[in-house]
A = this chain, B = another copy of it.
Amino acid sequence: MSKTNRGNFFEDFSVGQVIRHATPRTVTVGDVSLYSALYGTRFAVQSADSFAQAIGYPRAPVDDLLVFHVVFGKTVPDISLNAVANLGYAGGRFLAPVYPGDTLTAVSEVIGLRENSNGQSGVVYVRSVGFNQDGTEVLDYVRWVMVRKADTSRPAPETVVPKLPAALAPDALGGAVPLLDIEGWRNDLAGSEARFADYQVGERIDHVDGMTVEEAEHMIATRLYQNTAKVHFNQFTEGQGRFGRRLIYGGHVISIARALSFNGLANVFHVAAINGGRHVAPLFAGLTVHAWTEVLDAQPLPGREDVGALRLRTIATKDRLTGDFPAKVATETGEDYDPSVILDLDYWALIPR
């Protein structure tokens, strides 16, 4: 019996395979404090029991992205330990609120496989679901990741590429938010006068502030999520690798960008869905993240008068201010991301009406 987990290789996966991931995790106010200290997040609903209770929550819910990172972390030892690259996310939905004291577990199903033409690796598509201790689904999302083959002589599996939505429909949003008593929402405490109706499709918001990342910070964060991907932690081996440095977990960048976005989106209190996300370029310690957001869409939620949904595209950069430049620039062969761009995230978020 091999006792050490070497992780799965591309040929170890099959479509329809279901993997229950290890290490359930009780999320506590300790995790909430660390999350706050790592990102400086200031959204009032997650920051204060009193604010959350005034609008109908039993207490402050756990930040959506902390939930995402914990669920994601569980999948790493089984899905992406031998990954070459994390290629993308789609169809991510936050389905039920998570409160301190809840315990999260995760299950993934392989929903697609496509071997690369070089026979060295392939793309694995998984739908991962996070559950709380009652078996309630709190989150699901699809990600696809390029995974190495260990045995390149193994024949390619039948190619199955799942149909993935470009964006979730508004009626799929809001499961993690109880019906709110918006009379109790105080703009002054939340930090902004801007409500749902104040955001215009096409509007671009520069989040102004920046955050420099240190090695200790991203490692503390990534371990908090029990994410074990070696590239984040081992300077001895990474120093001899592709970049000569530890890579920062892409989710750390997402959380930094979300925290920076408070300056401009203070009332946008809930990430309801992740339509898609791309880690355009790696981030390393010592670099500074800035971010801007473009409003892609604004939709009411069917049957709800309390909150509306903004579809947002947040772009994060490294070592470049985000005042006014496009995410993509013309190149000889078409267009590509500006070299400073590290994250292109498309998500739905909720805001009081």
- Listed in ascending order, the chain A residues whose CB lies under 8 Å from chain B are 1, 3-6, 20, 22-26, 28-34, 36-40, 42-44, 47-51, 60, 77, 101, 103, 105, 133, 188-194, 198-199, 205-212, 214-217, 219-224, 226, 228, 230, 233-237, 246, 263-266, 286-288, 290, 319, 321
Partner of A228, one of B24, B209, B288: B209
- The CA-CA distance from A228 to B42 in the complex, in Å, is 10
Residues of B contacting A23 with CB < 8 Å?
42-44, 47-48, 189-191
List, sorted by A's number, 18 A–B pairs whose CB atoms are closer than 8 Å: A3-B199, A3-B205, A4-B207, A5-B263, A22-B191, A23-B191, A24-B44, A24-B189, A26-B48, A29-B30, A30-B30, A30-B34, A37-B221, A47-B226, A212-B219, A216-B216, A220-B220, A228-B263
Chain B residues, CB < 8 A from A3: 192, 194, 198-199, 205, 264-265
- Residues on the B chain within 8 Å of A211, using CB: 233-234
How far apart are the CA atoms of A130 and B25 in the complex, in Å?
A: 27
The binding surface of chain A is classed by DSSP as mixed
Q: Out of B48, B235, B264, B265, which one reaches A25, CB within 8 Å?
A: B48
Pairwise interchain contact B47-A26, C-beta atoms closer than 8 A: yes
Interface pairs A-B: 8 shortest CB-CB? A30-B33, A22-B191, A40-B223, A236-B288, A24-B48, A216-B216, A28-B29, A30-B30
Establish whether residues B215 and A214, one from each chain, have CB atoms under 8 Å apart when the complex forms: yes
With beta carbons under 8 angstroms apart, the residue of B22, B38, B101, B133 that contacts A44 is B22
Contact B191 A288, beta carbon cutoff 8 Å: no
Contact of A264 among B4, B36, B47 (CB under 8 A): B4
Minimum distance in angstroms from A58 CB to a CB of chain B: 13
In the docked arrangement, what's the CA distance between A22 and B47, Å? 11
With A23-B44, A44-B23, A49-B101 as known contacts, state yes or no: A212 contacts B189, CB within 8 Å: no
Q: Which residues on B sit within 8 Å (CB–CB) of A212?
A: 215, 219, 233-236, 246
- Residues of B contacting A32 in the complex (Cβ-Cβ under 8 angstroms): 28, 30
CB pair A50 B103 closer than 8 Å: yes
Q: Which of B26, B50, B210 contacts A230 (CB 8 A)?
A: B210
Closest residue of chain B to A214 (Cβ to Cβ) is B216
Q: A28, A60, A206 — which one has the most chain B CB atoms within 10 A of its CB?
A: A28
The answer for the CA separation of A321 and B216 in the assembled complex, in Å, is: 22
Chain B residues with CB under 8 Å of A219's CB are: 212, 214, 217
**CB-CB nearest in chain B for A193:** B1
**How far does the alpha carbon of A246 sit from the alpha carbon of B212 in the complex, in Å?**
10
What residues of chain B lie closer than 8 Å to A198, measured between beta carbons? 1, 3
Complex interface: chain B residues within 8 A of A217 (CB): 216, 219-220
Alpha-carbon distance A208/B2, docked complex (angstroms) = 13
CB distance from A246 to the nearest CB of B (A): 7
Provide the residues of chain B in CB contact with A224, threshold 8 Å: 33, 36-37
Give the one of A29, A31, A210 with max B CB within 10 A. Answer: A29
Chain B residues, Cβ within 8 Å of A235 = 212, 286, 288
Q: Which of B189, B208, B226 is the one whose CB lies under 8 Å from A22?
A: B189
A288 contact set on B, CB distance < 8 A: 234-237
Specify which chain B residues have a CB less than 8 angstroms from the CB of A199 in the assembled complex: 3
**Min CB gap A17→B, angstroms:** 14
